[in-house]
Amino acid sequence: MTERSPDDRRRAVQRGAQAESWVARRLESEGWRILERNWRCDAGEIDLVAEREGVLRFVEVKARVPEDPTGLEAVDREKQRRVARAAETFLAVREGNWREVAFLVALVEPTPSGFAAQWVDDAFDA
């Protein structure tokens, strides 16, 4: 694998932040309330925590370059474990009476008019 330049890394971070903001706005437009953005603990980080009518989703956002064939492979087993451990910590420290809890992966790709996403609900086996 080739090393990415500092400019490439900076662009990737910026693309990721834009994708997370877009996903948050999209979820809010569908009635979800964003409880947390970039929630961190010793176990890891969760990009977004969203709630709607007692349903809680831990959202992992992956910004992809156009026509990137990797898709869900970007959220490998180790990444799933880290997010799942962070989610367990979140649930232990936050009050809530959620009737359903799951992981949602949003694979976001830029388009000429903004962004498009492939949504994978209940995405983790963990």
Residue 38 in any domain: the answer is yes
Report the domain count for the chain: 1
Could you report the per-residue pLDDT of 60-93, keeping only the tens digit for each?
A: 999 887 766 666 677 888 889 999 999 999 999 9
Give the domain range for residue 68.
6-121
Residue 79 in any domain: the answer is yes
- What the block records as the tokens of 18 is 């834009």
50: amino acid identity, one letter: A
Could you report the per-residue pLDDT of 37-48, keeping only the tens digit for each?
A: 999 999 999 999
Residue 126 in any domain: the answer is no
Give the predicted TM-score (pTM) of the model.
Answer: 0.87
Q: How many CA atoms lie within 13 A of 30 on its CB side?
A: 9
Residue 62 in any domain: the answer is yes
